[in-house]
Every structure is written in structure tokens, then in C-alpha cells.
Amino acid sequence: MNLKKTLMVGAAGFALFAFAAPVATAAEAGSIKNGSATDLTIYGRVSRQFMIYNDGEESGYLNTDGFVGDTRFGFKAKGKINEAVSVEGRLELDFKSNDPTSDINQNNEVEGDKYDIRHSWVSFNHKAFGKLTLGQQSTISQGMSDGLDLGFAALAFSGMDPSLRSGGILFRQDDATAALSNTSVRDVFTTMDRGRSEALKYQTPNINGFSGLAALYDSGNWGVGAEYDAKHGSLTVRGRAFYENLSSEDGTGASGDTGDRWQVGASVKHDNGVSLTGLYGQRSRDDRSDNGVSYAATLGYTANMNTLGATGIGVHYAGTEDIAAAGVEGQAVGLGISQQIKNAGTNLYSQLMWWDADVSSPSTQLESVVTFLVGAQVKF
């Protein structure tokens, strides 16, 4: 997309809000709680977990961050221009000491502190015309996996991407040397979700449960998506789909990760607590001729089994093809349990996963990995 088209999209978006809503007076803008005409919310969470692993040769343990729902701290400011239009600003930071998806593994138990800006954006939301957001924010694909599953067991599985909780663990070579390989769980197992990026993003109003999204990212990249949330009798239904065109690297993916990607997913939950969730996605890379494939499914059950809050139990299956490299296939199976402690703003979770990577070359086979972890989130 060239500069002229980009400017036209931005100008059209601002014109939409400018002409659709007259400016309100200061008295109409809402209550003053922080010295300005906005309502300020301070929020955050602390998230930690303890993991035990077996790589086919050795066992060990690691103390790590929780990653999905990781430790973070943020501010949200909201104000009203008039009854039709509101404005919001958000600044959010995350804090990691041991990121379980990166370099925390059998060779490296301590990574060191990391501080990142997760969100830094301003949005304008019109009741009739939708929401326009500018700044560092979630890409359209981010959260499409971890926000898909309607069951509470999703907390244990990081939504539909359980490798986010243990992805740094390395596979070991299945040969006489039994040496650690350079291939991690996260290299083989991942969905098509990306991270955050500087972007101009638009989301339509909700129409009969449907809403659409479109975004212009840095480096000429762009994406579109669709969301669906509705209740049909005793069934709650959620659907997600996206396509992203990545013509150049923008820092949200691995080196050389350019091309395009798409993913579709759906989750259905019955009033009796049983839920079923599935997703399928593909990506192409400009530096490879093969298409990476990722798919997953979770069968879960959510109920109030005690006085603490909701309990979620689920079984998860995931498969990948050509994600780590051409000819590498992954299979993973796991059990997850989540427990809400409602009065304390706390969630507990546990995950047991078996990870297997099959390499097409008979000379470079890998041992399976088993991980078990328990974790906690405290929200404020």
C-alpha cells in the first residue's frame, strides 16, 4: 500500500469522526477524577509459574513468568466528547524476569529483567461508526488464539497456544550423543498470532454479533479480520478470523518472517459448561517454498465446583507442519486445570503437556519432551 493510499485512509477516518460528532463542552466530558476531564483507571497483574520438565534424558525445574497474562501495569483514561463519541488513551508496560518462551531452558535458568511497552495508543469510538485507534497496539492477529476459547481451562493452555508457557525448553537429539538440539518447543509449536505493532486500526460497530477490523502496520504491512460473538439458545458462540500481509519485518515475528498468514477459529460453549474450541491457520514465508500449518483443539468443562469461583478442566491437542523448518512436524497433547479465587482477584492454573517433534531426516530425530507447571495470577 503506497503513501497516497495510507494518507487517504487516515484522512477519511478522522473526517468520519469530525463530521459525525459536534464538539462537546467541558461539562459534558464526564467527571473529573484525576485533575482532567477523563476517568483514570489504574490496573495490573502479577503472574508467576513453576515448571518441571523431562527432555528424555534429564529432568529439571524452572521458575518463570506466566507470559500470557504476564506481569504488567497500566493506565486507562476515558472521556466523552458527546453522547455518541468517546475517547480513550492507554499506556501499559510489562515486566519479565524469566520469559518462558525465549531463552529460559536447560542451559539457561535465568534470563534477566525485561521491560516492554505493550500499549501506547489513543482511540476514538463512535457508537454508530466504530472505533479508530492510533499507536502501539495489538495487531489484528494478536489474541485471536488466546482469546478464542470460551472455557475457563483456556487459562491453563494460554488460550489455544500452550507453548507460550514452556516454549523455551529444548528438544534433545535422539541418538548416541543425546545432546541438546537448537530446536525449542516454541520453534515447533505456535499459532499464527503475532504481537503488537505501531498501527492505525479501525473496527466496525457490532452488527448482529459481527464486527470487522482493518489495520495499517509499520513497514507497509497490513491486515484484516472478523469477530463474531453471540448467544443462540443454550449455546454461546465465538468466531475469529484474520489475514495479514507482511511485506517486510516489523519486529513482531522471527527474523525473515515475511509473507502472509491467515487463521480461522471457533468456540462453542453449552450452558451445562461443556465447551469445544478449534482453530486452523497457515503462513507463507518469502524465504521458504513451504507453507507452515498450525491447528489445535480443546475440549473443556467449566463449573462452580467449590465456593472459590469457577473451575475449568480441559484436554488439548495441537499439531504443526513446517513451522520450525521444512519437514518438521509437531504433535502435542495436554491436560489443563484452572481455578478462580474470585474474592481475592486471583487465578490458579496447572498444565501437563507432552511435546513431540518429528524430523523428516532419519539422522536428526528428537526426543519427546514432557512439561508440568503450576502458576498463579493476582490482578488489581
- pTM value is 0.86
Dist CA 94 CA 44 (whole Å): 9
Residue 317: pLDDT over 60? yes
Any idea which of 4-8, 187-191, 286-290 has the lowest mean pLDDT?
A: 4-8
Pick 79 or 101 by higher pLDDT: 79
pLDDT (0 to 100) of residue 249: 59
pLDDT (0 to 100) of residue 219: 83
Residue range(s) defining the domain that contains residue 203: 3-379
Judge contact between 295 and 265, C-beta under 8 A. no
Average pLDDT of span 2-26: 42
pLDDT (0 to 100) of residue 67: 67
pLDDT (0 to 100) of residue 289: 65
Residue 285: pLDDT over 60? yes
> Looking at the 3D structure of the chain, how many domains does it have?
1
**Residue 159: which of 47, 314, 339 has the closest Cα?**
314
Residue 30: pLDDT over 90? no
Question: CATH no. for residue 170?
Answer: 2.40.160.10
Identity of the residue numbered 286: D
Give the model's confidence band at 211: pLDDT under 50 very low, under 70 low, under 90 confident, else very high: very high
Residue 331: pLDDT over 70? yes
Give the model's confidence band at 34: pLDDT under 50 very low, under 70 low, under 90 confident, else very high: low
- In percent, the amount of the chain with pLDDT more than 70 equals 85
**Alpha-carbon distance values, 271 to 150, 265, 312 (Å):** 11, 20, 14
CA–centroid distance for 196 within its chain: 10
> pLDDT by residue (tens digit) across 86-116?
999 999 999 888 777 777 888 988 777 778 8
pLDDT (0 to 100) of residue 17: 41
Pick 174 or 96 by higher pLDDT: 174
CA pseudo-torsion sign 185, 139, 226, 228 = positive
Residue 49: pLDDT over 70? yes
pLDDT (0 to 100) of residue 37: 76
Mean pLDDT, the chain, integer: 87
Q: Which residues contact 328 (CB under 8 A, 6 or more apart)?
A: 183, 188, 320, 321, 322, 357, 358, 359, 360
> pLDDT by residue (tens digit) across 227-277?
999 999 999 999 999 999 988 655 455 445 678 999 999 999 999 999 999
Identity of the residue numbered 40: L
Average pLDDT of span 34-52: 87
Residue 172: pLDDT over 90? yes
In the chain, DSSP assigns E strands to: 39-54, 59-65, 72-80, 85-96, 114-126, 130-138, 170-172, 180-184, 196-203, 210-217, 222-232, 235-246, 259-270, 274-285, 291-303, 311-321, 328-341, 346-359, 369-379
pLDDT (0 to 100) of residue 33: 54
> Which range has the top average pLDDT, 22-36, 155-169, 244-258, 284-298?
155-169
Residue 32: pLDDT over 70? no
> pLDDT by residue (tens digit) across 53-75?
999 999 999 998 876 667 899 99
